[in-house]
Structure 1
């Protein structure tokens, strides 16, 4: 109860901040703003802020669905800037949350229908140009925008920030529950909205550790399931995310990007869920929103402004540095190096935590933006409960760029187990900063039977200084996730390698 009260207080503070960011347009502004009720899918009332540029029009239209647990005013600053630049903008609270009607459908068909209904209303009640329609959003709003582009061919451009293309690959990576993420999303959903039937089904699966139905529901709620439709419609798709997004990690965006055959852009920089673009939503200077503006100017207005001229893939190292541009995702990797792992058998006593872990959702990525990285000393990792393998120190400054791949043979003593693979940048003084990681759960195994494992870690771009080394740690418990590895069981790792991409 105490935790719920604290959460409610935090959300209330967010609400007050958002309201403060959404004042009426000044008399001398180049636009007007108004609070409106828009009939959504099935007539459900959706509350919205509508920004209309002054003038005859028609004006390009951008629809912005609100993030999970937030509402229309989260985009107040960005929407005002777009309106000043001659865009009609409709930012609305997603159904089931705050002032909108209905129930939380977790990006279900009613949510996709809502986006189309908001477009219908905008075309009927504003001077919006039906040939120039875009959708933009953060997190939940990003996912709904991508789904909207898959189902409504009127949407010609999208900017999806800190979003998802595949929910199973985000919240259930390699059959591993993201414990902190699930608890966070479900908790704030109850505080800020009205859960629907599918929401409660997913919640029950989370609480009871059964995920078959939840995974089925999640699979149809991601744009990755509709790539053929998107490629046929050919909207311009911009994807932007933080390297350490703890809710929607980068690999699922990369997979989606590589399958798209449309005008596209992919950007990664330091940050966690929603943090790289958060200030821009309030109207403050922000790289992601600047690129979003250029994206819509290019693909809605036809302005040749150089967006993407240097390459559709834009990457900034997670530990600081400038942007690098590439013609494709794979082009960032200039070479790979295969590091053999210990040839013998390493038996880990499972179910016991070590000092190695992936940090705290949101906090770890936000700290990385400030140059503060999750740090351990590998020498302090208990070898009874983990494998630790140190690679040779590099002789010159280099960049890890892409997704490292772990290959090994895993033999559990029980029917299920979980491992966590962490890659660290270890300095000569023995302190090591987390570069990337990945969880993996094995369910329904035959105890004692070896299982060959090929496991890509989450992709990263990371500057590795001269004299530093990469250190791999594999253990079986991480507080961010739900482990299936029980105490009194063992997990044996035999041989293998770690292949590291360098740029």
Structure 2
């Protein structure tokens, strides 16, 4: 057992006045030592889960605050790490919660680090069953508050892979009392085989296109993280180098259950979703159990996430809220494949997460409510930071009431012909997962379009700023020499000087079938574009680009010629959800209870020491004045 209890400071009587003079101005502002904020101990555990050939040992750490005892037990939180990571990835967050008085359990998922077993991508019989075993463990701990026999007061916290597990566990185990899930998926099928064809599936800002996802476009580079080794940071980004993010194993096919590797091999041989893969991904998707989640759920999603888009959080929110379960949705910049959230956003997430668990696990603090927070991006530097303004609305539009009204932004462009090269090479570039480099070999990932592979439609310069919060929709007519087409549609922000920025590097892939050979026989096809939170400034233009290739996706083997036009002719419209927010309150990172008390003690101590110094100086000056000769 490792102790993190705060040691008593040794006191020295000598030099008190000198020390007081040197430190009096510093005491109030001195940083709090890590051990001083709140005492807790950790226990290293090996937790057996499963039975027979499927039994594994999970490497776990239990954080027990000094304030949690059998006489005064505390609520608990389980933290699940990202793909390719280990429990060490959760140490910082676990320390924060433990210092605030929660019993915290972190662990390394099966197939990673020092845990045994094979990876099943959060399958119910394996990773979800492991989560239930961990809750059983908490039900036997005397320091953990119990709601009934075998029923601990417990919240689940996770990002990315851990976020998916948090939602799945809440769907399968009603003992979970609150959930915070960040940057995660609703459907692994939709995430790895997206299809943006069709109108939005619901009347919410970021609902996905309603086309059949079973025939989507294979997100081949991101799939390599799961099946060929890599790590996904729960705060965004990842590595494609197979290093596994700190674990001894990479999460590649050698670490997955055999049925997953077999299904993946079949997929990459055709670049199409097979029924076997669909079934494996579907069972590991929260969408399979969102109708059973009753634990209040806080969802945090990245606006620039190219793996788990905003549509995934939209779907989770709609499906969980349909149960009458409290749901709060927060969009922040960054995400997988994008920059990290800003410091202000990190403070907001930290405070909201603390409020969520305090209210639902401790019955303390203010009700965090179900308002919708997002960051409206106003400036995006190439391969650099982005600037935006935090906004809020009372509730996520369409979740429990009416959805947003849609505005029509006129766009124009002639019918255009696109060439699709055999094998999709050369290909346009929107964005790539971390660790991958463009075909050009240039390490910079600035979006590029290929002239004869893209069609362009533009608005006039805006007379006033336009805020887009949600998924625009464009109606196209498409024809193909092969009878089908895979298209990639995206939105650029074009400045008055002609410079164009692909908003957050996002793209909407769509697979279209049964297409005519000529446009005069084509029917209107709606394309649901990526959900944005972006402010187009006065004088800027919206540019819609439709491309036949993209380096991050698998495309058809045979060459073809496509024709694309706006459905209504030379002029058309971009349909945009009208969501108007108000400035969000400023957040500061919350301090654990022990740290808050410690800081107050420091302030009071600083005042006392300061007064003592002043008194000492005053007495010293009087003595010297009394002893000074009159001459």
Q: Which TM-score tier does this pair reach, normalised by the shorter chain?
A: 0.7 to 0.9
Aligned to 2:161: 140
Aligned to 2:41: 32
Q: What's the offset of the Cα at 1:271?
A: 0.2
1:103-122, aligned counterparts within 5 Å?
103-109=118-124, 110-122=126-138
SS at match of 2:145: strand
Aligned: 1:329 with 2:338: no
Aligned to 2:183: 162
Deviations for 1:431-458, whole angstroms, at most 9, x for unmatched residues? 1111242111235767667454222112
1:411-490, aligned counterparts within 5 Å?
411-435=479-503, 436-442=506-512, 450=522, 452-484=524-556, 486-487=558-559, 489-490=560-561
In the alignment, the residues of structure 1 paired with residue 50 and residue 338 of structure 2 have an alpha-carbon distance, to the nearest angstrom, of 30
Structure 2: unaligned runs, 5 residues or longer: 8-37, 148-152, 196-215, 231-241, 243-248, 379-386, 437-443, 580-631
Structure 1: unaligned runs, 5 residues or longer: 1-22, 365-372
Aligned to 1:293: 354
Cα distance change on mapping 1:218 and 1:399 into 2, 3 Å: same
Q: State the Cα RMSD in Å.
A: 2.8
In the alignment, the residues of structure 1 paired with residue 367 and residue 303 of structure 2 have an alpha-carbon distance, to the nearest angstrom, of 25
Cα distance change on mapping 1:259 and 1:391 into 2, 3 Å: same
Give the TM-score taking structure 1 as reference length. Answer: 0.84
SS at match of 2:377: coil
Cα distance change on mapping 1:277 and 1:424 into 2, 3 Å: closer
Larger Rg: 2
Q: What's the offset of the Cα at 1:294?
A: 1.3
Whether the aligned pair in 1 keeps the contact of 2:515 and 2:522 (CA below 8 Å) is no
In the alignment, the residues of structure 2 paired with residue 464 and residue 177 of structure 1 have an alpha-carbon distance, to the nearest angstrom, of 31
Aligned to 2:250: 192
SS at match of 2:128: helix
Cα distance change on mapping 1:382 and 1:98 into 2, 3 Å: closer
Deviations for 1:108-129, whole angstroms, at most 9, x for unmatched residues? 1211110000010122135212
Q: What's the offset of the Cα at 1:293?
A: 1.4
Whether the aligned pair in 1 keeps the contact of 2:427 and 2:551 (CA below 8 Å) is no
1:134-283, aligned counterparts within 5 Å?
134-174=155-195, 175-188=216-229, 191-193=249-251, 194-209=255-270, 210-212=272-274, 213-230=276-293, 234-261=294-321, 262-273=325-336
Aligned residues: 460
Whether the aligned pair in 2 keeps the contact of 1:353 and 1:476 (CA below 8 Å) is no
More deviation, 66-75/197-206: 197-206
Aligned: 1:403 with 2:462: no
SS at match of 2:191: helix
Aligned: 1:60 with 2:75: yes
Q: What's the offset of the Cα at 1:329?
A: 3.0
In the alignment, the residues of structure 2 paired with residue 395 and residue 162 of structure 1 have an alpha-carbon distance, to the nearest angstrom, of 35
Aligned mate of 1:130, from 146, 159, 164: 146
Whether the aligned pair in 2 keeps the contact of 1:375 and 1:432 (CA below 8 Å) is no
Q: What's the offset of the Cα at 1:52?
A: 0.6
Aligned mate of 1:501, from 577, 600, 620: 577
In the alignment, the residues of structure 1 paired with residue 502 and residue 427 of structure 2 have an alpha-carbon distance, to the nearest angstrom, of 12
Q: What's the offset of the Cα at 1:61?
A: 1.1
Deviations for 1:17-63, whole angstroms, at most 9, x for unmatched residues? xxxxxx96354441111221111233421011110111323111111
Deviations for 1:48-97, whole angstroms, at most 9, x for unmatched residues? 11101113231111111221110001010110110111111111111111
Q: What's the offset of the Cα at 1:354?
A: 8.0
